[in-house]
A and B are shown apart, each in its own frame.
Chain A
Amino acid sequence: MQHYSGFGLLKHAMSHHENWQRVWRNPTPKKSYDVVIVGGGGHGLATAYYLAKEFGITNVAVIEKGYLGGGNTARNTTIVRSNYLWDESAFLYEHAMKLWEGLSQDLNYNVMFSQRGVLNLGHTLQDMRDISRRVNANRLNGIDGEMLDAQQVKEIVPDMDCSANRRYPVMGASWQPRGGVARHDAVAWGFARGADALGVDLIQQCAVEGFEIEDGTVTGVKTTQYGTINAGKVGCVVAGNSGVLAGMAGLRLPLESHPLQALVSEPIKPILDTVVMSNHVHGYVSQSDKGDLVIGAGIDGYNGYGQRGSYPTIEHTVSAILELFPIFSRVRMNRQWGGIVDTTPDACPLISKTEIENLYFNCGWGTGGFKATPGSGHVFAASLAKGEMHELAKPFSIDRFNTGALIDEHGAAGVAH
């Protein structure tokens, strides 16, 4: 792997940037691997990277039906934070946050992680009580968080309308200074490049269409392009298509697939240097380095695999943003798109073994898994490597929907992504 550096950039400038090495190979798969990861999104690629790097398992393939990172990883609004309410989720997302903080160096790839802070606004007394509970819980868990009043919010975001006479006045917010945004594509590419360099085969344009299962143990995957590929273990990381994949193994998962939309405006001059989210008016916004406002809100209510949603959802999203920022009323929207998110009943992921030996699922991240990408990959790799779920992953087993040990993060997940 060619090491990236400022000096390298200069050197390649001499040859008009025509001699850059390809970022990863495009191999034909072998007959058999120790671990096959299904799904080449951020989480699948991170899993493969940590399997090779931390656990020395390099005989690994990632099988992706489209192109790397083309699923929700490429479609999300890139908010990263770890201020979840319950211990189980707070520890999991904070584990990811710590990895984010060193990720560009670790991968030698600039993932543009920008800790510009995240505000979660409160508009009612009950909002403020919930926020105070969550901030206190976060602080007890060693996660940064502060309660701000309307005046302090105004100081951070001067262009937001924080006046008391709004229909939904801003009463205050939680503030996580270590939160922020990252470049979504770079995260997928950085992990892909790192995994490839350690020997992982990245197989694109090849879908998994079934499993080889013998006596309750998975022994391989059936693919569209290369027939059966044998595997010691199989880790499925396919987000919105998890239910379909589980169905191929005769399993049901406690999740439903929904469209989730987002949109960006034309680029404008710098106006917003943090991330603003509001569960109550139901929308969130940040500004990318290019200058476009990145806007999102809730899912479309019906089940959908179509990577697109309905106009009324977009209209609600935009009106929520205008409630907070009347100043944006003349900004034109540039692009709009959707992803398929796999939502669970308690708004927490499934990182779990299944009834089938050696078949694992890491899914259910729903509307908010981008922020967990490195942490999710790391704990899933540890679980696959050891054959036993990582301590941080244990509470997220599928079993919790039978035992009743749900982890209700609807408050902290909300619109919040």
Chain B
Amino acid sequence: MFLIYCPYCEEERAEEEFHASGEAHIVRPTDPESLSDEAWGDYVFFRKNPRGNHHELWQHTTGCRKFFYMTRDTATYEIKEIYKVGEQPNVATAPAVPNKYDQFSSAQAVKK
């Protein structure tokens, strides 16, 4: 059970007010037209899913309805930091296999 600090309401609220929206900072392909099926599949369906620190997107659904970020340990469930959209995390994510196409440059995608 989490007590979550909403960086916009500037208050700790019960977990039930929030919705977990999964992995954060997934980069949208800049040149979708030229993506290979593999790169598309990776962007849409494959996630880091680390055991340990995880950068996540959350929404204060029954409060201000704003989105914000959280770094949370998926094994201990400890919340490490909360930051606003547009800000960068201070705590790194646990080692996880990166998206092969992470930068989504079209050249890279086509080569694969």
Residues of A within 8 A of B (CB): 241, 243-244, 246-247, 250-257, 301-306, 310-312, 345, 401-404
- Report the separation of the CA atoms of residues A252 and B50 in the bound assembly, to the nearest whole angstrom: 10
Known: A310-B15, A312-B1, A403-B37. Is A254-B46 also a contact (CB below 8 A)? yes
CA distance A246 to B49 in the complex (A): 11
* Contact status of A312 and B15, CB under 8 A, knowing A243-B49, A254-B45, A304-B77: yes
- Partner among B15, B46, B56, B95 whose Cβ is within 8 Å of the Cβ of A401: B46
Q: Which of B20, B47, B97 is A251 in contact with, Cβ under 8 Å?
A: B97
How far is B99's CA from A251's CA once the two chains are assembled, in angstroms? 10
Q: Is A402 a contact partner of B38 (Cβ separation < 8 A)?
A: yes
A251–B76 Cα gap in the complex (Å)? 24
Counting CB contacts under 8 A, is B75 at the interface? Answer: yes
Given A246-B97, A401-B41, A252 and B56 contact (CB-CB distance below 8 Å): no
Q: How many residues of B contact A (CB 8 A)?
A: 33
Q: How far is the CB of B25 from chain A (nearest CB, A)?
A: 14
Contact between chains at A257 and B49 (CB < 8 Å): yes
> In the complex, what residues of A have CB within 8 A of residue B44's CB?
345, 401
What sequence of 0s and 1s flags, for each residue 5-28 of chain B, a beta carbon within 8 Å of any chain A beta carbon?
000000000111001101100000
Residues on the B chain within 8 Å of A303, using CB = 20, 22-23, 49, 54, 56, 74
Nearest-neighbour CB distance to chain A for B27, whole angstroms, equals 15
Complexed CA–CA distance, A137 and B12 (Å): 49
Partner of A247, one of B15, B16, B22, B96: B96
* Cβ–Cβ contact A252 & B74, under 8 A: no
- A305 contacts B51, CB within 8 Å? yes
Task: List 3 A-B pairs, minimum CB-CB distance, nearest first.
Answer: A402-B41, A302-B20, A243-B49
A306 and B77 within 8 A (CB): yes
With most chain B CB atoms within 10 A of its CB, the pick from A254, A305, A310 is A305
CB-defined contacts of B45 to chain A, threshold 8 Å = 254, 345, 401
**What separation, in Å, do the CA atoms of A257 and B44 have in the docked complex?**
17
Chain A: minimal CB distance from B57 (Å):
11
Smallest distance from the beta carbon of B16 to chain A beta carbons, Å? 4
B77 and chain A: residue at smallest CB distance: A306
The answer to whether A255 and B49 have CB atoms under 8 Å apart is: yes
Within the assembled complex, what's the spacing in Å between the Cα atoms of A252 and B100?
Answer: 9
Tell me, rounded to whole Å, the shortest Cβ–Cβ distance linking A39 to chain B: 15
Given contacts A250-B97, A305-B51, A403-B37, 4 further A-B contacts (CB under 8 A): A243-B50, A252-B47, A256-B49, A404-B37
Q: How far apart are the CA atoms of A34 and B20 in the complex, in Å?
A: 43
B62 to chain A, nearest CB (A): 12
Give Cα distance in the complex from A246 to B96, angstroms. Answer: 10
User: Nearest chain B CB to A313's CB is how many angstroms away?
Assistant: 9
In whole Å, how far is B52's beta carbon from the nearest beta carbon of chain A? Answer: 8
Q: Which chain A residue shows the least CB distance to B52?
A: A305
Given the interface pairs A247-B97, A404-B37, the reply to whether A311 lies near B1 with Cβ below 8 Å is yes
Residues of chain B contacted by A310 (CB below 8 angstroms): 1-2, 15
24 A-B residue contacts at CB 8 Å?
Answer: A246-B97, A250-B97, A253-B49, A254-B41, A254-B45, A257-B74, A301-B19, A301-B20, A302-B72, A303-B20, A303-B22, A303-B54, A303-B56, A303-B74, A306-B77, A310-B1, A310-B2, A310-B15, A312-B14, A345-B44, A401-B46, A402-B37, A402-B42, A404-B41
